[in-house]
Chain A
């Protein structure tokens, strides 16, 4: 303190606001005794001109150089008094305020206590002000661009005002079109203007204005900076349609097979996955709703677009559906028969009743094509690459790789060692599950697509790998697992013992094969079950499966096990073979041992442990050992190709073996798996080989997309049982060639496809792509991020309505003819689902309609506030019902709030139209004798009433948007107790927020009607324009700074600063504070261990003085 401190203290009466509770004279007298106080006065209104003059005069005449005003909150008049000081030549920061109104007189009952509290606060302020320093205010330039968030009527108005002034506006709208809630309205009260007629011109103008940059279907995700200089990040959600190319013709909508709920029509109607919100949408373009990839498709090893082909199937587009299957699965008829369909296990329909019969639908699609006698022409050939690929092995992996390599334009030859192609599909799967004719057709389709298949050419016998490498650009090995596992027990090589595959192959090749007697099958996999069922069909009298674990552990498909049991196959579980009994050089019996289950082993199954002394004999005429398969490599490859421990071929992530140009896939790599998994690896390997032969970098393995995870609520969907394919009667299953399960009928298949829940909404069937002449559709589109720099932000994010299903008494969601006000708006709107006809759910004109006010408003159970627009909207609804129908109309109101210009007159007019007004809140809606019954207490009659009606309109509360909390945090603004955004002052600053440079417009600040909304929007625009016109804004000089000579360079403060205002000087080894970036929170100061960090006006010595001052009394 260089000069002598001469403090002036001024205690305000604030009329009687302070003086009634606080003895202002006593306080003033007390203040005069405090250290450094030169003069102390009290005055009626310190904020008035004469009040301020008192201060100025004392500064000039008494040499006062510090000022304390004890009055209202500094949030109110601190700037006023600072200006007064400045105008008298004293720095405005040599000033303190004591809040003795909001925080003393208004909250304290007893005058003596209030007086004492006022004294203590003033004592603190007087002690602190002695240490106050003059501070210089700073100015920063204002970026003239403005961000408007929300494209409803408020956002449009604000944006157009600013654009009209010649400044640039970024208008961000979350939905696909501008318009907001108002675009849903039919008429507007009290003038009955058509909402669209007055709104759409503004939408169009905003869409065309050179100063308005529209960002529809976009959301603000990040806001940094401060008034004059905000940095904003906006996420432009992928529309999957290029808005610059889309002409809005709607061809895509015509072909889209997916229906979903139309939220614009408030759920009263459906819409397609590709849609435009409403006819006058701006921009006038379509977009596609995608919520993720359906779980069926994600689960499918081959990634077949299940949802897509189901959607097409239910439209009867079987050919298109089948083509879509073939995009990922070249053998749909086989797949529809033998796949273990993991898709059905994940189907969300299963949460409601049963999963969709996905596999059966696919089988129908393939069979209907085959029945027509001609297969679909292979897709248009792509340009030939001139590259040649050899595929060794014609099982599913080989077929898959060959098919997709051919589609990519390469010349592909499959070399198959056996006499016919198909691998295990041909030789391993019995005819009753997969007829050979079906397999032949599938392979024929693959051949037609351009693949050459050469049979009876075996690797290592007829050609070598070196031969292939010389002739082809790449080789794909898909040899499968051809060798049978043996049990390593005595007698295994005796006649009368066969391997499972050996047996199945024999049965497949010799139509006249016959068996008799007792057959034992050892094993628990699909080959064992197939062998057992085949043995029965070949005439065996008694077939028994011997398995060392229990049914739960069997790797065979449960369905197959069940069918085997039905057909008469017996099971002997917990039994292991010990040796095969040799009788005269032939197997005659199996010696077995009982087993028990132990702990879960590394493979996830419980171990099978021997039971000592439990051996017994099972007699048998034939013993089939189906103990699994393993890889059998040609001798020439042994030693040269890298193999894993269990004998499978090793490949890298690109399916490439250790030999250059030689790829491998299917069971050869994975060990025994499934048909669909083999197809999947063949297809993935094809992508790698395609890149390889073209000399490109090999692509990464396919990333599985995110599945739709939300659980379904069972009530929302109709129940419909799954259509199961018919099964052949058991007694008719004595022939190997009789297929057990049948194909669904066309009618059933279409019905079955309708059971699909369209999990991802858009099914990516790509029909829209085919019809879009503008080529605007891009299903691979990604979200984009845009960075904006603006000086001001106007929030016009609007409202939602209360969901009346919150109150079960109102019947919403239970009775279809109970509507919300917004639903009624859509119903009566000419562009709505009924083209404006007011009808009940069954299409009839209502005889009586009840309109209930204050649903959720003015109700302590829901929202305490009045929603302000519902009385007038209800009158409008009544008028529209009267105008369009002959129905009686009842308004149930608490009291009528018709407070605006022409509102009361409109009320009178509606009364004259014959509407019945019942003063009493609609308490309950019931259903009785096919009518709705509204119960209420008529408070004018003093009577309880029940009115039968056909339709009830619930005029629900306007509420803050459900994400208002997150939006408030994003923009660092506050919300009031009702959840709406909080204005800076409820009366004098209804447009500003506590954060400078962010303004509010419309219903995001509180419920209001359209005129008030538009007026506030214009006000918000004026606030932003004021800053633009000024060109610069004042920013607080209360910032942190560093006394470098004290700084120890510990860097503690650096990560604490949310504004990155602190950096470290490597040269000086001290923290450098950038005061231009500092916002003055003081966190760094509080954390500085060496006392180097300081904060202007909140210096440690100042804080300690005020603490001592206020705590002493």
Chain B
């Protein structure tokens, strides 16, 4: 939760960490800017070359560091600059989607989207949708400690891989 913004707007303002791939989703976010499309400020964009680089640890780290939700956005299937990194990211997210609810974290707090470089509007829409949804869910408070513990576990044991061995 962004406390300063919450103070300003008077309502709960979540923080959403967005891992965007350089070629599609990040370019789409730039395009939204060039087109001056307004969307909620709650998104914090982190650029990666490919969503294939996003480790489950990153998602947990974001949740334990203050984010209320995480968006991973890459190229459409078949449109990946690195051929198939987005598929790998997708497979990896299946693990997280199974795991997060077991820690009391609603599955809506983690989202994977395919956004092409020309889809600035879609990017803005996805952010808008997600912010509205997370506002309904409310802050990720109690679960954050559990996530922090889990995050630590991941860091120690390097279990980050589970379930993706087959690429």
Chain A residues near B (Cβ < 8 Å): 73-75, 99, 101-104, 106-110, 112-114, 116-117, 120-121, 124, 968-969, 972, 974-977, 982, 994-995, 1038, 1052, 1055-1056, 1058, 1079-1083, 1085-1091, 1095, 1098, 1100, 1103-1104, 1106-1108, 1110-1113
Contacts and interface: CB of A to CB of B under 8 A. Distances in A.
Given A106-B36, A107-B39, A1080-B49, A1086 B30 contact: no
B26 to A, nearest CB: 8
Max chain B CB contacts within 10 Å: which of A107, A114, A976, A1113? Answer: A107
B161 A1088 contact: yes
Contact of A1103 (B22, B23, B37, B58): B58
Interface residues of B, number: 63
A1080 B4 CA distance: 37
Nearest to A980: B118
B38 A1110 contact: no
Interface of B: 2, 4-5, 8-9, 15, 17, 22-24, 26-27, 29-30, 32-34, 36-39, 41, 44-50, 52-55, 57-58, 61-62, 65-67, 78-85, 88, 92, 116-119, 124, 158-161, 164-167
B2 A1086 contact: no
Contact of B44 (A109, A117, A982, A1052): A117
B66 A1112 contact: yes
Contact of B52 (A102, A975, A994, A1081): A1081
B44 A976 contact: no
Contacts of A116: 2, 4-5, 41
A948 B125 CA distance: 48
B117 A107 contact: no
A1106 B48 CA distance: 11
Contacts of B9: 113
Max chain B CB contacts within 10 Å: which of A75, A1038, A1058? Answer: A1058
B117 A1107 contact: no
A982 B118 contact: yes
Contact of A102 (B30, B92, B165, B167): B30
Nearest to A76: B30
Contacts of B22: 75
Contacts of B26: 75
A1043 B76 CA distance: 32
19 contacts: A75-B26, A103-B30, A107-B41, A124-B44, A974-B116, A977-B119, A1082-B49, A1082-B52, A1085-B55, A1086-B52, A1086-B54, A1086-B55, A1090-B158, A1098-B48, A1106-B46, A1107-B58, A1108-B65, A1111-B15, A1111-B62
A1110 B8 CA distance: 19
A977 B34 CA distance: 14
Contacts of A1038: 49
Given A104-B41, A972-B83, A1086-B92, 19 more contacts: A102-B30, A102-B33, A112-B8, A113-B41, A124-B46, A974-B116, A995-B81, A1081-B81, A1082-B49, A1082-B85, A1083-B50, A1086-B52, A1086-B54, A1086-B55, A1104-B61, A1107-B17, A1110-B17, A1111-B15, A1113-B66
Contacts of B30: 73, 75, 99, 102-103
Contact of B117 (A74, A99, A982, A1080): A982
A106 B35 CA distance: 8
Nearest to B158: A1091
A107 B36 contact: yes
Would you list the 3 A-B pairs with minimal beta carbon distance, nearest first? A1082-B53, A102-B33, A1083-B52
Contacts of A1095: 53
A1080 B52 CA distance: 10
Given A107-B36, A974-B23, A1086-B160, A1081 B61 contact: no
Contacts of A121: 44-45
B65 A1081 contact: no
Contact of B79 (A968, A977, A1091): A968
Contacts of B24: 974
Contact of B27 (A101, A108, A994, A1079): A994
Contact of A1111 (B4, B66, B118): B66
A426 to B, nearest CB: 64
A1079 B54 CA distance: 16
B103 to A, nearest CB: 18
Contact of B78 (A969, A1056, A1083, A1088): A969
A1089 B158 contact: yes
Nearest to B4: A116
B45 A99 contact: yes
A32 B92 CA distance: 38
Contacts of A1089: 158-161
Nearest to B59: A1107
B73 to A, nearest CB: 13
Contacts of A101: 33
Given A102-B33, A1087-B164, A120 B44 contact: yes
Given A99-B45, A974-B79, A1086 B33 contact: no
Contacts of A1081: 49-50, 52-53, 81-82, 85
Contact of A1107 (B46, B80, B166): B46
Given A1083-B50, A1113-B2, A1107 B158 contact: no
Contacts of B81: 972, 994-995, 1081
B52 A103 contact: no
B116 A975 contact: yes
B36 A110 contact: no
B165 to A, nearest CB: 5
Given A116-B5, A1056-B88, A1083 B53 contact: yes
A40 B118 CA distance: 35
A1108 B83 CA distance: 30
Given A1052-B161, A1082-B49, A107 B33 contact: yes
Contact of B17 (A74, A1052, A1111): A1111
B92 to A, nearest CB: 7
Contacts of A74: 47
A1012 B27 CA distance: 27
A127 to B, nearest CB: 11
Contacts of B45: 99, 103, 121, 1110
B118 A976 contact: yes
Contacts of B36: 106-107
A1113 B119 CA distance: 28
Contacts of A120: 2, 44
Contacts of B158: 1089-1091
Contacts of B32: 102, 107
A1110 B22 CA distance: 18
B118 A1079 contact: no
B117 A1104 contact: no
A119 to B, nearest CB: 9
B153 to A, nearest CB: 14
Nearest to A1104: B61
A966 to B, nearest CB: 9
